Structure 1
Amino acid sequence: MTLRREAFLGHVQERGGYDTPEEAERAARVVLALLGAHLVGDVRAQLAALLPEEFALVLLNPLQSAEPLPPERFVRATSAWIEGATEATAAWDVGAVLSTVADAAGEDLLGQILIQLPTGYDLLFGRSRPN
């Protein structure tokens, strides 16, 4: 079921401790644009179908990434795209957005997403994968 925009941003805002929906939206746009560069095919399309339309479009028209970024570089890239962000605040932004995405995706789709990503992304999504 597709999340409504207000519900999606509400979850991100709550998890990120943002003062305004605009702060949550800024974080969501950057993180989803970077995530979209790492996902391909049906997995990206299935995830996009669960997101509010404007965020689905961000995921489907990603920032270009020459190679999949390891988790720490993903956070660093996020901090570079959010004005005034530090790596610590970017890690918070990534966690707020990706944990919301993980809940929307459900365990099966999340498992398929994690297969496409370098090791360690499970923690960014607020999950820990058994070794």
Structure 2
Amino acid sequence: MTLRREAFLDQVRERGAYGTTEEAERAARVVLALLGAHLVGEVRAQLAARLPETYALILLNPLRSAEPLTPERFVRAAAAWIEGATERTAAWDVGAVLSTVAEAAGADLLDQILLQLPTGYDLLFGHPRPS
């Protein structure tokens, strides 16, 4: 089931403890654009189908990534794109957005997403896996 845009942003806003919906929106756009660059094929399409249309389009037309970023570099890249962000605040932004994405995806799809990503992303999604 696809989340409504307002419901998705409300979850991101609550998890990120943002003062405004605009802050949640900015974080969601950057993090989903970065995530979309790391996912391919059916997994990306399935995830897009579970997100509000605005965010599905961002996921499907991502920033281009030459190589998969480690979780640390993913956070650093988010910090570079989010106005006024530091690595610490970007880690918070990434966690707020990706934990909301994980919930929208569901356990089976999240497992498939994590298979396409470098080790350590389970923590960014708020779903640590036993190593």
Q: TM-score range by the shorter chain?
A: over 0.9
| Shift >4 Å, 4+ stretches | none
The one-letter code matched in structure 2 to 1:71 is P
Aligned alpha-carbon RMSD (Å): 0.3
Structure 1's unaligned 5+ residue stretches are: none
**Structure-1-length-normalised TM-score:** 0.99
Q: Distance in 1 between matches of 2:83 and 2:20?
A: 16
Q: Residue 28 of structure 1 corresponds to which residue in structure 2? A: 28
After the TM superposition, which residues 1-131 of structure 1 pair with which residues of structure 2 at under 5 Å, given as runs?
A: 1-131=1-131
Q: How many residues align?
A: 131
Q: Distance in 1 between matches of 2:104 and 2:84?
A: 29
The one-letter code matched in structure 1 to 2:73 is R
For residue 8 of structure 1, report the CA deviation from its aligned partner. Answer: 0.1
**SS of the counterpart of 1:98?**
helix
**Structure-2-length-normalised TM-score:** 0.99
Q: Distance in 1 between matches of 2:78 and 2:65?
A: 12
Q: Distance in 2 between matches of 1:61 and 1:91?
A: 23
For residue 130 of structure 1, report the CA deviation from its aligned partner. Answer: 1.1
For residue 58 of structure 1, report the CA deviation from its aligned partner. Answer: 0.2
Q: Distance in 2 between matches of 1:130 and 1:104?
A: 22
Structure 2's unaligned 5+ residue stretches are: none
**SS of the counterpart of 2:106?**
helix
